[in-house]
Amino acid sequence: MKKLENKYDLIVYGSLNMDYVGYVDHLPEPGETVASNTFNIGPGGKAANQAVTASKLTAKTAMVGRVGDDHIGQVMKSELAQAGVDDDHVLISPGIQTGIAMVSVDQAGNNSIVTYKGANAVLKEEDVAHSLEKLKQAEGAVLQLEMDKQVGEYTIQMASRFRKKIILNLAPIVDLDSETLKLVDLLIVNEPESSFLSGIHVNSIDSAKEAAEIISKIGIDHIVITLGGAGAVFKTGDVVKHYPAPKVEVVDTTGAGDCFVGAVSFFWIRSGDLDAAVKHAVNVAALSVTKQGAITSLPSLEEYKQFIKEEELDFSKLNISENASQ
């Protein structure tokens, strides 16, 4: 059994954004102006969402990324700290604005997002190198690709060198070197991303299963294709499964994919059971869409326990202290 003291479950690498979210009756067509019924400002960014998800589920989590030397950057670091995420390697970039996302959400919870990378664009290999002591103490590394391609590839190579579990969310779509992709233990993609990798149009459970078979030929053992409200398809070895999402009242889907990534990483690291991890990450992501916002919608472990039937998940396998809380 691994020692938990002075160790990390997960190191998350990548983006931090402040989200500016307008809730509208419908998403605008090109050239159309739509009035927002409600407007919120809150922390987000793929990596930050994933790190906070894992932390709220009681993972010991650290993050590596960059913010600007502005008020938004100070708020982002504060939000991470409040969520229990180690932000020692969330660096401040002088003279650069913190990344932002402009989000529109319609009445069905669907969203349209425009991002500005800001400080996320200046994350360097040196920043990753300076965080290697934390990586050495971690069980797994999580990353997406809202960063320079070379930085992403370097991060994967370092995590592989130290024999860490590598969870890659190939978002946004980046044409990574195939040899680097082979180092990934768990690849998580959505429908457009899996379409890019497989060369087929993924728009259903069956096409997702076909795409997973094709993608596996790259040399990746474990693949998840997320399907929004339809759940997720999971391929491991010769087995391909579909896990449907529970029916919920959808309020806002912003950050749901990131929530899935953080949750599946947490459950896998803690239990060692990837199949069960995928099943329960689908549930956690579904719970997240019942609230507004990105980080503000991410559920705690206690909220998740209340959401599902206790007997569906053996929490004794997750190595969670009874008094653990975030």
Q: Which tokens go with 248? A: 């919920």
206 is catalytic: no
64 within 8 A of 89, measured Cβ to Cβ: yes
Helix (H, G, I), strand (E, B) or coil at 35: coil
How many angstroms separate the CA atoms of 145 and 208, rounded?
A: 22
Q: Where are the beta strands (DSSP E) in 170-238?
A: 186-189, 222-226, 232-236
Report d(CA 124, CA 136) in Å as an integer.
19
How far apart, in whole angstroms, are the C-alpha atoms of residue 317 and residue 301? 14
Helix 256-271, helix 274-288: angle, nearest 10: 150
- Across-strand partners of 141? 11, 166
Active-site residue among 177, 258, 275, 314?
Answer: 258
Residues in the chain, overall count: 326
Query: Using CA atoms, how far apart are residues 271 and 316, in angstroms rounded to an integer?
Result: 9
Contact 285, 259 (CB under 8 A): yes
* Closest to 298 in 3D by CA, of 8, 11, 19: 19
Catalytically active residues are: 258
